[in-house]
Homo-oligomer: A and B are copies of this chain.
Amino acid sequence: MPAISGDDYIKRIDQLNTEIWYNGGKINGRISQHPAFKGAIQSQAMLYDLQLRDDYIEEMTYHSPHTGDRIGTSYIQPRTIQELKKRSRMIQIWAKIHGGMMGRSPDYMNTVLMAFASSARLLEGKANCFPKRLVQFYERAREEDMSFTHTFINPQFNRSKYYIEDSEEPIAAKIVDETEAGLIIKGARLLATQGGMTDELLVFSAGRIFEEDNAYFLSVPSDANGLKFICRESFCKGDSSFNYPLSSRFEEMDTMIVFDNVFIPWERVFFYKNIEVGNRFQRESAFLPFSLHQVINRQVVKLEFVLGIAEEIIESIHTGTYENVQEKMAEIIVGLETIKALLIKSEVNATLDEFGLMRPELASLQAASSAFPKIYPRAVEIIQLLAASGLMTIPTEEDFNSSIRMDLDQYLQSATKDAVERVKLFRLAWDLTMSPFGSRQTQYERFFFGVPNVLASELYHGYNKKKYQEFIKAFIDQTFTSENESKSSR
C-alpha cells in the first residue's frame, strides 16, 4: 500500500490492540472514537487525505524508486536542491492545515526515519549494529506509509549533572535480556507525543549513555505485548470547534511509555549494546539537519498563523495606530522574517553530504532553532498583550445558542466584526495562548530541540569561528589580502 488516505490510516490504527491508559482506565473500543484522541486522529486523517487530492498529489508524493508507486514526500531522500525544496513545500502545506500545531504530524517522524536510514553506513562493521535492517525497515515504512512516534527522554528522576541510575528495578527503559529471537526491554520513557495513535514506536538513544543496556535503536509496533501508553490529562475540553478551535482538533496527547518486559525481534533492532554508537549515531547521522529542516518549516507556518491572528485582533478593535502596538507587531514580523530567512539560507547553502543527501546548512537551522524558542513565547505574549481583556470575555457556543444571544450580539460586537465573529477570533487567540492546549504548545516549542543552554553550547562548539579569528589576526597585523579576505565569505 503506497501513500495512504485518511481512512486507511484510521482503519490501521483502530485495528491495533494497543494498551492505552487514560484517566485511570484502559481504553477499550476504537481509539479513533475516544474523546481524548478523536480530534487529532481526524486531523491527521485530513493530512493523509490531502496527499491524494488531485491538486496536491504532485507536491505531496513522489514515485517510489522501487515500485514507481506514489509515496509520501516526507519519505524522500533529497538528492537535489529541488527535492529539498519539495520537502519544504510538503511540510508547509500540511502545516497550514493545523496552523503548525501538530508537532508530530507524520512528516516529522518520516523525516527522522529517512535521515537515520540514509546514515546507515555509519553502522557498518560495528559491533551489534545492523545497518541493512535499518534500510529495509525504512523502505517498508516508506512503501506502506507507516506512522510513528518516538521517545528519547528518560524519566525526570534526577537531573543533576553526573547522575547514574542505580535503582534495583529499572526506571529508564533498558535491555534486561537478550534471546535468540530478540531483546527484552523493561522500564519507562517519557513524552511520546501521539503515543497510541501511530503504527509504531521508534526508540533510540540520544547520547549521554554510560551503560551498554541503555544503548539501542529499535522499532516496536504500538500493540506489542507488555507495551503500555499512559496518557496525561487530555487538553481537549470539548468537541465544539467554536469553543475550542484548536484543542478540539489538534490535541496530540503526550504519553509515558512503559516497557513491561517487551520483546523486540531482531529484525526490528538496528543496533544494541554499543555505547559508542549509542552516543554518536544520532549526532553524526543526517538526523539533525533534516529534522531541524522539518521543524523550522512547520514553525514558519506557526508564526504566520500567530501573525495573522494578531493582525485580526488589532483590526477588530482598531488599535493599529498605537505606537506600542506597531512595535509589538514589528517584533513578530522580524521574528517571522528571521526564521524564514534562516530556512532559505539553509537551502541556498545546502550541499551534498557524505551520504549523498542534499543537506541543508546546519548552522542556519541551529540558529533558527535557538531563536525560535525565544520568538514564539514572545509572540504568544504579544497576542495576550494585544487582546487584553478580550481574552477573559469569552462566552461559549452554548451562550450564543441561548436566549441571551441578543445581549451578546449587542455588547460583544467590535468595530469591524459582529459578536460571533469576534468571539470566535478571541477564542482562537485564547486556545492558542491560554488554554491548557495553548500553554502546552508554548512549552513544547520552548524545548523542542532540547534545553536552551545545551542548544547554545552545541551551536557555539559546532560553529566555524576560525575564519573570523583569522580575519581579526589579519586585521591586527594589517595584512589584508585577497586570500585572507576570501576566507570569510559567506
Contact = CB atoms under 8 A, between A and B. Distances in A.
Interface stretch (A116-124, A135-143, A282-290, A427-435): A427-435
A333 B274 CA distance: 35
A34 to B, nearest CB: 15
B230 A395 contact: yes
A315 B326 CA distance: 26
B411 A472 contact: no
A482 interface: yes
A393 interface: yes
Contact of A453 (B160, B228, B326): B326
A447 to B, nearest CB: 6
Contacts of A433: 439
A305 interface: yes
A341 to B, nearest CB: 4
A377 interface: yes
A319 B460 contact: no
Contacts of A159: 317-319
A interface, by DSSP: helix, strand, loop or mixed? Answer: helix
Interface stretch (A10-18, A174-182, A205-213, A380-388): A380-388
A412 B155 contact: yes
A456 B322 CA distance: 11
A190 interface: yes
Interface stretch (A104-112, A261-269, A363-371): A363-371
Task: State which size class the interface on A falls in.
Answer: 35 or more
Contact of A233 (B24, B156, B169, B395): B395
Interface string A292-331: 0000000010001101110110010111111110110111
A414 interface: yes
A473 B313 CA distance: 12
Number of copies: 4
A407 B330 contact: no
A407 B228 contact: yes
A202 to B, nearest CB: 18
Contact of A228 (B21, B25, B381, B404): B404
Interface stretch (A71-79, A91-99, A125-133, A351-359): A91-99
A456 B327 contact: yes
Interface of A: 21, 23-25, 53, 55-56, 92-93, 96-97, 99, 153, 155-161, 163, 169, 171, 187-188, 190-191, 228, 230-233, 237, 241, 243, 245, 254, 256, 258, 260, 300, 304-305, 307-309, 311-312, 315, 317-324, 326-327, 329-331, 333-334, 337-338, 340-342, 344-345, 348, 363-364, 367, 370-371, 377, 381, 384-385, 388-396, 398-402, 404, 407-408, 410-415, 424-425, 428, 433-436, 438-440, 442-444, 446-447, 451-453, 455-457, 459-461, 463, 465, 468-473, 475-476, 478, 480, 482, 485, 488-490
Given A21-B404, A385-B452, 19 more contacts: A55-B482, A96-B471, A156-B390, A161-B322, A190-B392, A191-B389, A191-B393, A230-B407, A230-B408, A232-B392, A245-B475, A258-B404, A308-B465, A333-B460, A334-B367, A338-B338, A338-B341, A338-B367, A384-B446
